[in-house]
Amino acid sequence: MRIDFLQSANLANGRRIGGSVAATDPRPSLVGKESNFSDICATDLSLLGLEKGPRDKQHENYGLCCPETMMSNSTNNSNSNSSHREDDRKESNSTLTGVDSRFNQTLRNVQGLLKGRSFPGKVLITRRSDPISDSGLRSPDIDRSFSDKDAGTSEQLDDSVVDEIQSNSKTNSSSTVNKSRSLTVNTESTSKESQKSTMGARATDSARLTKFTKALSGSTVILEKMRELAWSGVPSYLRPTVWRLLLGYAPPNSDRREGVLRRKRVEYLDCVAQYYDVPDTERTDEEVTMLRQIAVDCPRTVPDVSFFQQAEVQKSLERILYTWAIRHPASGYVQGINDLATPFLVVFLSEYLEGSVDNWSISDLPLEKISNIEADCYWCLSKLLDGMQDHYTFAQPGIQRLVFKLKELVRRIDEPVSRHMEEQGLEFLQFAFRWFNCLLIREIPFNLVTRLWDTYLAEGDALPDFLVYIFASFLLTWSDKLQKLDFQEMVMFLQHLPTQNWTHLELEMVLSRAYMWHTMFNSSPSHLAS
C-alpha cells in the first residue's frame, strides 16, 4: 500500500524515486532510504499528492478499487486470493436474510419490553449485524483453508507487485487477476491493478503468511521483525499470538511462553478474587462509585454489535475494567477505557469461537477458557495503557498534549484547512479528544478496528507519537470537505464522520499516508520547526 502511494508519485514523477522503493515490505524499504525520501518530499510535495490537486487524483485512483466494482464480479474469481473481500461480502449477503430476521427479533423484543407505550418520533436501534465482513473475525479454519487453497494460484505476492513497480510490465500473476476483473474495470494501467489486489488481500497474502509463520516458528521471536511484519496487518488467525507477543505479554522465548501465560492467568484470577469478588461493604466509597460507573458503561459498550449485549460478556468486561482500575489508582477507570478492552476480547475469543462475531455465543465456552481469555484481555489492556498512563489521569494531560501536537502537524501539512478551522473558531479538542481517548474505535466501523490495532501494537512504545500522524491523516481525508463548512457544520461533521461504509481500503490509505508523513517530518524535524 505504501508502495502504491509512492508508485503514483513515481509515475507522476518520471520515475524519480523509482530506485528507492525496491523491497518486499513497504515499511522497511523506506527506512533505509529515509534521507533520500525526505529530500524528495521536501521538494516535491505536490508529486506525492500532498497538495490539493494531486491528492484528489489519488482519491480517484483508489476510488477505482471500490467494493462495488469488486462485488459485481465476485462470482468469477472465488478462487483468487485477491477476492478475499468479495468472499466476505458474499458471506454477508448470504446471511442477510438471517440478519434481517435477527434485527426484527430484536425489534420485537424491545417492543415487547416497552409494551403498551407509544413513542413519538424515531426510535433508533442500530442494526446489530453490519460488521460481518471482517477478515479479522473469520474463523481460523476458513483462513487456513483459504491460504492453503490459494498458495501458488493466481494471487498477487508482494514481491510481484514490487517487480511491477520496477519493470512496469505485466507479470503472469497480474494478468490472471486482470482477467477476472476486466469485466468491470478498465485496465488503465498495470500499476492500478496491482494496487488493488495488494490492498484487498494484504493480510492473508500467502507470502506474508509464510513470513509470519517463519517469524513465529523459531525458539525466540525477534520482536523487531515481528513489528515490521505486523505493521501492515496480521492474518486473523495469528492475531492473538502476535498481539500477545507485541505487547510484551507473552515472552519471545517459546520455551517460556506457556509457563508465563499460565502464571499470569492465575495471577489475574487472584486479582479478581481479591478486588472484584468482595462485598461492597469492603470497598471504599470511591471504589463503589467506580464500580457503579463501570457497570453503567458495560451495557453501553459497542452496543451496535450484539455480541457485546450478552450478559456474560458484559460481566467479563466489568471484571477486567474494575480490576484494571483498582490496580491503576492514578487514573482509575475513565469512560472510554471500556472501548479499548473490546478489540482484545474479540481477538482472543476468535481463538475459540468460529464465524462472524455476530453469531458468537460466549456460553458455548467452558468457564476455564473464558477466564483465560479474560486474563489475556486484562494483561494486554494493561500493557497497552502502560504506554499512555497520563492520558487518563486528572485533566488528561497526555491527551491534551497529543491534541496540541495534532494541531501543529495539521498546520504543517495542510495550511489552508488549518487556517479555515482557526478562522471558524474550531478547537481540535472539540473533536480530537474522543479520537485519542478511544483510539479511534468510535470513529470507524468495528470490523476495521482489529486491523488498525495491528499497526498500533506494532508501533509499541512509539504509539502515542504515531497516533498524531494517523489522526492527522484521518482528519485530512476530508480536507476539501472541511473547508466548505462553517463552525457548527464542522463540529457536527467531525463528531459524526461518514465512515460507516469504510472498508480496509480507506483505512490502509489513512495508515500509509500517516507513515509517509511520519517518515518525512520525523527525519526532517525542520519541517515541523520552521
Partner 1 sequence: MSNLYGDFNQKIDYVFKIVLIGDSAVGKSQLLARFSRNEFSLDSKATIGVEFQTKTIVIDHKTVKAQIWDTAGQERYRAVTSAYYRGAVGAMLVYDMTKRQSFDHIARWLEELRGHADKNIVIMLIGNKSDLGTLRAVPTEDAKEFAQRENLFFMETSALEATNVETAFITVLTEIYRIVSKKALTANEEAESGKSALLKGTKIVVPGQEPESEGSKYSCCRSS
Question: Which residues, including other chains, have CB under 8 Å from residue 190's CB and lie 6 or more apart?
Answer: 164, 168, 169, 170, 174, 178
Question: What is the greatest pairwise CA distance in the chain?
Answer: 74
Of 53, 116, 121, 152, the residue at the interface with partner 1 (CB under 8 A) is 121
Stretch that binds partner 1, among 1-9, 25-33, 144-152, 388-396 (CB under 8 A): 388-396
Stretch that binds partner 1, among 196-204, 253-261, 312-320, 333-341 (CB under 8 A): 333-341
Tell me which residue has cell 436474510: 97
State yes or no: residue 465 binds partner 1 (CB under 8 A): no
Of 31, 273, 296, 462, the residue at the interface with partner 1 (CB under 8 A) is 296
State yes or no: residue 311 binds partner 1 (CB under 8 A): no
> CA 215 to CA 201: how far, in whole Å?
20
Q: How far is the CB of 502 from partner 1 (least distance, A)?
A: 18
State yes or no: residue 330 binds partner 1 (CB under 8 A): no
Give Cα separations from 239 to 12, 34, 245 (angstroms): 37, 29, 10
State yes or no: residue 310 binds partner 1 (CB under 8 A): no
Decide whether 21 or 485 has the Cβ nearer to partner 1.
485
Q: How far is the CB of 341 from partner 1 (least distance, A)?
A: 14
C-alpha grid cell, residue 394: 486528572
Q: How far is the CB of 242 from partner 1 (least distance, A)?
A: 29
> CA 331 to CA 389: how far, in whole Å?
8
State yes or no: residue 415 binds partner 1 (CB under 8 A): no
C-alpha grid cell, residue 25: 515490505
Q: How many residues interact with partner 1 (rule CB under 8 A)?
A: 45
The number of C-alpha atoms within 13 Å of 254 and in the hemisphere containing its C-beta is 10
Q: How far is the CB of 86 from partner 1 (least distance, A)?
A: 30
State yes or no: residue 394 binds partner 1 (CB under 8 A): yes
Question: Which residues, including other chains, have CB under 8 Å from residue 353's CB and lie 6 or more apart?
Answer: 139, 360, 361, 362, 364, 365
Residues 252-281 that bind partner 1 (CB under 8 A): none
State yes or no: residue 96 binds partner 1 (CB under 8 A): no
Stretch that binds partner 1, among 16-24, 97-105, 162-170, 292-300 (CB under 8 A): 292-300
Of 34, 44, 130, 304, the residue at the interface with partner 1 (CB under 8 A) is 304
User: Measured between alpha carbons, how far apart are the two ends of the chain, in Å?
Assistant: 30
State yes or no: residue 45 binds partner 1 (CB under 8 A): no
Alpha helices, H only, 279-366? 285-297, 311-327, 337-349
Of 336, 343, 445, 464, the residue at the interface with partner 1 (CB under 8 A) is 336
Of 35, 75, 126, 361, the residue at the interface with partner 1 (CB under 8 A) is 126
State yes or no: residue 93 binds partner 1 (CB under 8 A): no
Of 178, 335, 359, 522, the residue at the interface with partner 1 (CB under 8 A) is 335
Cα–Cα nearest to 64, from 512, 443, 509 = 509
State yes or no: residue 81 binds partner 1 (CB under 8 A): no
Of 15, 63, 266, 487, the residue at the interface with partner 1 (CB under 8 A) is 487
Query: Running DSSP on this structure, what letter comes out for residue 274?
Result: I
Q: How far is the CB of 310 from partner 1 (least distance, A)?
A: 14
Q: How far is the CB of 10 from partner 1 (least distance, A)?
A: 37
State yes or no: residue 130 binds partner 1 (CB under 8 A): no
State yes or no: residue 499 binds partner 1 (CB under 8 A): no
| Residue 220, phi then psi, degrees to nearest 5 | -130, 125
Classify each residue of 57-95 as buried b or exposed e, where b means 16 or more C-beta atoms within 10 Å of its C-beta.
ebeebbeebebeebeebbebbeebbbbbbbbbbbbbeeb
Of 60, 115, 117, 152, the residue at the interface with partner 1 (CB under 8 A) is 117
Stretch that binds partner 1, among 20-28, 71-79, 146-154, 326-334 (CB under 8 A): 326-334
Q: How large is the C-alpha radius of gyration of the chain?
A: 24
Give Cα separations from 205 to 62, 91, 236 (angstroms): 20, 20, 12
Give Cα separations from 346 to 73, 147, 267, 342, 360 (angstroms): 31, 22, 22, 6, 10
- Reported in sequence order, the residue ranges of 4-52 that DSSP labels E, i.e. its strands, are none
Stretch that binds partner 1, among 14-22, 72-80, 224-232, 391-399 (CB under 8 A): 391-399
- Return residues touching partner 1 (CB under 8 A): 110, 117, 119-126, 293, 296-297, 300-304, 331-332, 334-336, 338, 392, 394-396, 423-425, 427, 429-430, 433-434, 437-438, 442, 486-488, 491-492, 495
